[in-house]
Every structure is written in C-alpha cells, then in structure tokens.
Amino acid sequence: MSAYGLTVENGTALAEQPDRHPDDDDQADKYDLADDALAASGRLNYEISNWALPGRECRHNAVYWSGGDYAGFGSAAHAHRDGRRSWNVRTPDRYIEFIESGESAESSHESLDNRTRRLERLQLQLRTRDGVPASALAHSDIEELSELVQPRGERLVLTRAGRLLANEVSLRLRA
C-alpha cells in the first residue's frame, strides 16, 4: 500500500490557488491515521509512504531506494545507469513519434559525481525501515534529532515523527 501526501507542483492550476494548498498539519494527521490503520491490518511501514504485509514488500522500488540501476521505458520515464540519470520526453504522443521513427526518446540526462551518488543513496535509504549507517550523521546531530531518528544496531532509522520530518534529517546526512 502506498500513501503519498499531495505535492503542489509549480506551473499547475493548483499552484496558482494557494487557498487550496494542503495544510501540513492536516496531512500529518492523515498520515498518522493511515499508519495506525495499516499497522492494525498487519501491514508494516517499510518506506516512508509504503506499507506491506511481512514478506510482501515491493522489490521493484527497493532498486530505487538502494541507489541501483534501472531502465526507463515510456513517456516521462527515468533511467539510471552507473551515475548517468536520464529521462524521456514527457508526452505520450512525442514518445511514440520518436520510437516509431527509430530515434531516442531521451529528453535529457545528467551525470552524477560519486559524492552526489553517495548522498542520494543515503537520502533514499533514510526513507526505508533499514535506515542509514550511524556514521551518516554526526554524533551531535543524532543527539539533537533524537525524536526523529533512533539507533537500531549500527544503523539509524526514522521514528514516526521522523518520517514526517525526514527532510530535516536528510539535510544533515554526510556522504
């Protein structure tokens, strides 16, 4: 089960209507309700926005969260291979045109240096129930963020409050 909060994207009709933007506290309350209900049904949180019965976690998404390589097929699809991230054209019509003409549908790409790759991998791992190595945060940050992260063996994992404020923890990760 996936449950994501609504993100207002620039350039959308919703972005131009601030009175309709979601309230952070309301979204947090709804997250807590969803987490409680899913836990009561036996589904465990294994990534900030994902729950599953034990042994039924999505293996496909685990590739992204571990910083692995993946191919992207279809309009707006992303791909990653050895530090090269690319994305296809956004609209299905254009994607089909490129494919039918034998051309690449890749819209653009970027090359990630090793430090950026390590940091992104930590940021994604932080979102999972396995968390990050304890060395990914300074000892002083671990103490300061004690309500957001907790030690589990040699790793640090987000608490429920930490899942709601993961970006605060993510900003302090050391690659």
Average pLDDT on 29-58 reads: 97
Please say whether the beta carbons of 105 and 89 come within 8 A.
yes
Q: What is the pLDDT of residues 66-100, one digit of tens each?
A: 989 999 999 999 999 999 999 999 999 999 999 99
Name which of 167, 138, 131 is nearest 152 in CA terms: 131
Position 157 scores a pLDDT of 98
Helices (H) and strands (E) in the chain, counts: 7, 8
Position 175 scores a pLDDT of 83
Q: What is the pTM of this model?
A: 0.85
Residue 122's pLDDT band, with cuts at 50, 70 and 90, is very high
Burial (CB < 10 A; 0-12, 13-18, 19+), residue 101, is: exposed
Q: At which residue do the structure tokens 């090269």 appear?
A: 84
Q: What is the pLDDT of residues 109-119, one digit of tens each?
A: 999 999 999 99
Q: Quick one: tokens of 30?
A: 């709804």
- What are φ and ψ of residue 128, in 5° steps? -95, 165
